[in-house]
Structure 1
């Protein structure tokens, strides 16, 4: 996706895989002997069994470590692979960027022999539970409303899927949207925001007023008073979900 030719420049620095989330993803993949990663970005969460990464953005491909799996520049809707090419196919925080969701899911089902694993989020839960978009940046929530994929629709397109909550650790190493739920100062860092498509695509002008309120609340201590219960929590469920579907 051309979007990531501009938005993806900081990913190698701000979007490192979190080992706890990685363990959940790899467990969901099961004992797959070969894995294809679709919408692969810079290669986060790829297990050793990954045989091919598919990614449309050259900027993202250039950030893949030298030792990572072979990669090809292509889109989910037209995977350059034969039918039943791999035991498992994974697609992590990517389906909301696809131009044709149904075509992309159809391609995953065509290529996967045994299992499909998708990491996404439930927008209704995200809006309700994540303080940043609920209380400071409703503009970002409104942007996500336009692109978030209902997990029920995904499950239907997959022909059925198990849905597993993905808890976000308070010290999450992967700087995706809600990763800093207990580290609010991070959202004031432009480099952190650049690695979060929800904020980067909403635009700096739109999020500036809310970020100014956040900065003020952090300075005065209002944030810590208002969200004191969060400071005692180790993990938080803000709607991230793994969908696991068995292949045909």
Structure 2
């Protein structure tokens, strides 16, 4: 993870909360996975999406930019990193992290083990399977650089299970067409979103690319939408209500 003084999302997190609103269906999955836990640590808490409102939450977020977008009704976030949580062993009922793990860099394994250390009950990780996301049209046809980045930065679900120990369930989470959380995976249904700067910039995949790469992809998608090439290849997706673009919920319980 970047040094606490310069978290990655201090650079790429501006305006994040405008397009990355929580999807109620994913929220319900997360709450169900947390079970009856009353105290929860949310690591990489960001702007507060998917954070339970009916439980005591300890929010951990290294980025001032992201923490500054948290709604006023949520508790302020503690500045700390995943690989060194300022909590005692077994001090909370559950731990969660939502699409944050790929930013923990060299601290990933220790961070995952920290989730297990501090929680007496479930650990819930929402992440991406890069083998699946890399096959989506955007990465496969236009943006192989993000596919390569995802393969480097997203641990495979089996690796997460090994780090966590105990009993682990990997749940496939199809992404609805009408999701309000505009992750890069949500672009499966909305190629026009590639042309929207705000939508691109609120995804770490695009935000971490060089400007020349972004320009190349935008130009190619705009051309292929205009001349019908995209619809000829992928128009069948417009008839789907949901799609597996690689989103996964990892639920771990202690032995």
Shorter-chain TM band: over 0.9
Query: What SS does the aligned partner of 1:178 have?
Result: helix
**2:92–2:119: 8 Å Cα contact kept in structure 1?**
yes
Contiguous gaps of at least 5 residues in structure 1? none
1:76 aligns with 2:76: no
1:113 aligns with 2:120: yes
Cross-structure match for 2:35:
30
Task: Write out per-residue CA displacement over residues 65-120 of structure 1, whole angstroms, 9 at most, x where no aligned residue.
Answer: 00013420100111111211111100111111113112111211111011100011
Task: Write out per-residue CA displacement over residues 156-184 of structure 1, whole angstroms, 9 at most, x where no aligned residue.
Answer: 00104100011101011011111121111
1:157 aligns with 2:149: no
Match of 1:64 among 53, 67, 70: 70
Match of 2:198 among 178, 184, 191: 191
1:10 aligns with 2:19: no
Structure 2 distance, partners of 1:132, 1:74, is: 34
Any runs of at least 4 consecutive aligned residues in structure 1 with deviations exceeding 4 A, and if so which? none
Structure 1 distance, partners of 2:9, 2:76, is: 19
**1:7–1:195: 8 Å Cα contact kept in structure 2?**
yes
Cross-structure match for 1:227:
234
Task: Write out per-residue CA displacement over residues 108-142 of structure 1, whole angstroms, 9 at most, x where no aligned residue.
Answer: 111101110001111111112x1100111112212
Question: Per-residue deviation at 1:25?
Answer: 1.2
Matches within 5 A, 1:182-221: 182-221=189-228
Cross-structure match for 1:89:
95
Question: Per-residue deviation at 1:36?
Answer: 1.1
**1:133–1:141: 8 Å Cα contact kept in structure 2?**
yes
Query: What SS does the aligned partner of 1:161 have?
Result: strand
Question: Per-residue deviation at 1:201?
Answer: 0.3
Match of 2:137 among 121, 131, 145: 131
Question: Per-residue deviation at 1:204?
Answer: 2.2
**2:44–2:98: 8 Å Cα contact kept in structure 1?**
yes
